[in-house]
Chain A
Amino acid sequence: MPTPLPPGGPPALRNISPRPRQKTGWWALPPVVALAFVFLYPLVLLVQQSLTPLEGGTSVRPYADVFADPAFREALGTTVWLALAATVGCLVLGFVLALVIAFVPFPGAKAVARFVDVFLSFPSFLITLALLFVYGTVGMANGMWTDVTGAASGPFQFLTTPWGVLLAEITYFTPFVMRPLLAAFSQIDTAQIEAASSLGAKAPRIVRQIILPEALPALAAGGSLVLIMCLNEFGIVLFTGAKGVTTLPTLVYSKAILESDWTGACVVAVVNVVISVSLYGLYRVVSRRAGA
């Protein structure tokens, strides 16, 4: 942590500080305007479009129409439960894997930790593609089953269902939880763990009472990141669940590109943005209250 300055700073600094600050204010204006134009103005256009029905004018009718659409409601529900389930899955799996990599000495632990970093750079649909090789209709698992039993098709037909999307999302996003966790674990004083075991604590108690409390901020950071990324995930859902699974991002895609319902697409996009932003806000409030 940086050492806090004495209140008000040294007297010499305090006396000259107001002037430069005004100047920096002026200098900051052009980039802020540029950023607003590049990033915020398109969003404004999007919201404006979502309030403009086909017949013209401004009304909230498009929202009423979309909300009344059962396909939208289903997509909304699927999006939220998939994101929540994937986040929980990533947290549990990521915590266990990071724990093993960080605290169980085995040859190659460093290499595995480095591979986690590489994994983060993979495109998301790559995972889906890879899973197809294993669990796809003619993939390894089903191939083995049909070879052994002589049946016409294998038992693993879940890949195009929400469960397939969930598996792919957990596989892809778990490293996003592990990265901050491994960083947090490397900060833990091994003397604390040794002190705990000297005092008679076995591994489960040490994980629960020493490691977990220290890892909570990292878990919260990784979890919220994964939650938001899952809410907005497009590639995995499109690749895996193409037939049966619709989430908000794929709904935006099908409305805009396949149905040419531009207004409807904008409405769904706005809803998606609102959910993401409010979840992020909720996370900030919760984490601040937790003192993290």
Chain B
Amino acid sequence: MKSMLPLMLCMTLLTGCTDIRTRLLPDILAVDPEKPVKFAAHTSQESAVIPAQAESLLQMPEALKNASGAEISTGHLSMLAVSGNPVSVLEACFHAQILAPTCTVLSVPSDACGRLAAGSLPEPKQIQSAVETGLLPCRTADAVLADVWGGSGITAVCTVLHDGLTLTLYAPDQCCAVLSEDACRGLALLGQRCKSFAFAAEDITYRLQSVQVHIKVTKADTLQIALSGMIRSEPPLTDAAASRLTEMLSAAVYETAIRCGADLLFLREYAIRSGVSEARSCSQAQWRDLLRHAEYSIALHQQKISKYEECAD
């Protein structure tokens, strides 16, 4: 045991622990990726914004440390806001492990740092609430990068436009399109991460209680994307309500896959499961072309209430 004592002493000296109270934990980080790269970090402890700049993105922790005089730990970031195309910024931060995979990503048209300082960026809670109510699909760092690295190389990122939050499709080097509200809602419904989903049709508000959508991708002359779903809502869907829901799903498929060749719905994986050999071997550009020429169909059905549930009612 005596020989263990110097070992334990060394361990405490070399752990590199600092006083956790002097460490700053930013919850929102804004990045303007021109040269020099500008940063602004909002810290939850002091509710202050720390501006900084550096020659490269990866010098961010050092730059913020110099600007604030305190050690920075980025492990608790809940939102990353980037001016313009966020893909390259996101890739660099993700590989350098500056960013937690579940951090929400937001794209703003310009001056993300200025907007954060002025308090005009939406809060992470606001985006979270939009995801939970089915207004937007969940677009965290891991989901955004997964679509860039896999699928067709085009991803969707939450964006602030003058009239609120929406989704923008980005390839690594260009902005492809801005999605409509219906497409955002359709993607949220297909992503199945929302806790409640309500929509209006013929002045009646419908609340979805259970949604089971199946996707099948097959190939004849062109790709055939078939969405079929069982929906249960309160009140039960009328034809007009079902048609409204179909419009949302249709907008989601059309505006992402058919118009831009974006694969946000794991269409490539569904195609591989159905035995489409091209999906396994083709490049991302080839898969985009295949999607652009695809045809799609949507069939929604009302889920019947079981006898047990009827009795319970």
A binds B: no
